[in-house]
Amino acid sequence: EIVLTQSPDFQSVTPKEKVTITCRASQSIGSSLHWYQQKPDQSPKLLIKYASQSISGVPSRFSGSGSGTDFTLTINSLEAEDAATYYCHQTSSSLGYSFGQGTKLEIK
Nearer to other proteins, 49 or 71 (CB): 49
* Cβ 11 vs Cβ 19: under 8 Å: yes
Nearer to other proteins, 15 or 97 (CB): 97
Residue 96, amino acid: G
Nearer to other proteins, 10 or 77 (CB): 10
Which part of the chain contacts other proteins (CB under 8 A), choosing from 16-24, 58-66, 70-78, 93-101?
A: 93-101
Nearer to other proteins, 7 or 18 (CB): 7
Write out the chain in H/E/C secondary structure. Answer: CCCEEEECCEEEECCCCCEEEEEEECCCCCCCEEEEEECCCCCCEEEEECCCEECCCCCCCEEEEEECCEEEEEECCCCHHHCEEEEEEECCCCCCCEECCCEEEEEC
CA distance 43 to 55: 16
Q: Is position 92 an interface residue for other proteins (rule: CB under 8 A)?
A: no
The site string for other proteins over 6-45 (x = CB under 8 A, - otherwise) reads: ----------------------------x-x-x----xxx
Residues near other proteins (CB under 8 A): 1, 34, 36, 38, 43-46, 49, 55, 85, 87, 89, 91, 94-102
